Each structure stands twice: as C-alpha cells, then as structure tokens.
C-alpha cells in the first residue's frame, strides 16, 4: 500500500511539473523564434550563443516531459552550434530550427485545453 501511495504522489508531482513545463512552451517558442531572427540578421550577434544555450536546455529537458521529438530537434540545433567554430550557415541551420519551431507549435497546440461540447 505504501508503494502505491508513493507512486501516486510521484505521479501527481510529475503531472504538475509537466503541466508547468507545457505552460512555458509558448515563451520558449517565442524565444527560439526571436533569437533565430536576430541570428539571421548578424553572424556576430549575441543571439547565437543564447540560441545555443536555449537549444541545449530544451534538448535535455523536453524528453523528461514526454517531448522526445522536441528534444531531438533541439539536440540537432545544439550539435550544429557546438562545433568549433560554431556553425553560422543559415542554409544548414534553417531546417533543424524550423523543425524545432514546428514541433514546439504542435506541442503547444496539443497542450491547450480542448473546448467542451455544449
């Protein structure tokens, strides 16, 4: 019985953390889009390391909340921005960044409450 209670408490805490994480996805998506836009305008922009840092964090955290595809897409962006010197080729980065943004959009849409039927 104690194990069942401990598991139920763990599950409840996990669902709460997952809900909080999902509620923060719109801000993370906005940050990725903004940093990407700034990066595209200037190869020396400070947005590049910020984009790298955000992609790195998403690559580790998203899979913890059941968002494996977002984690994989973020990992690809992180990998490209981790090479020495970091990749700044827009043509090479555009597909994984676009994929990441699209997956974030899908996760945001899926996490919105469904309208109830009258």
Flag whether the pTM goes above 0.75.
yes
- The total number of residues written for the chain in this structure: 118
Neighbours of 65 (CB within 10 A): 18
- pLDDT(46) > 90: yes
pLDDT in tens, 17-41: 999 999 999 999 999 999 999 999 9
Banded pLDDT at 93 (limits 50, 70, 90): very high
CA-based nearest residue to 39, from 57, 53, 25: 53
pLDDT for the residue numbered 87: 84
pLDDT on residue 116: 66
CB 77 within 8 A of CB 100: yes
CA distance 56 to 81: 9
Q: Are 93 and 77 in contact (CB under 8 A)?
A: yes
What phi and psi, each to the nearest 5 degrees, are found at residue 37? -60, -45
User: Which of these, 50, 26, 27, lies nearest to 37 by C-alpha position?
Assistant: 50
* Domain ranges across the chain: 24-111
């Amino acid at each position: 019985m104690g194990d069942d209670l401990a598991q139920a408490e763990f599950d409840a805490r996990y669902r709460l953390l997952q809900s909080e994480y999902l509620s923060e996805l719109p801000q993370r998506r906005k940050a990725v889009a903004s940093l990407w836009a700034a990066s595209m305008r200037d190869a020396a922009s400070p947005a590049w390391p910020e984009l790298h840092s955000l992609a790195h964090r998403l690559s580790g955290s998203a899979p913890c909340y059941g968002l494996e595809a977002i984690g994989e897409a973020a990992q690809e962006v992180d990998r490209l921005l981790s090479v020495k010197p970091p990749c700044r080729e827009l043509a090479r980065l555009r597909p994984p960044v676009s994929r990441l943004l699209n997956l974030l959009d899908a996760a945001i849409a899926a996490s919105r409450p469904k309208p109830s039927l009258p």
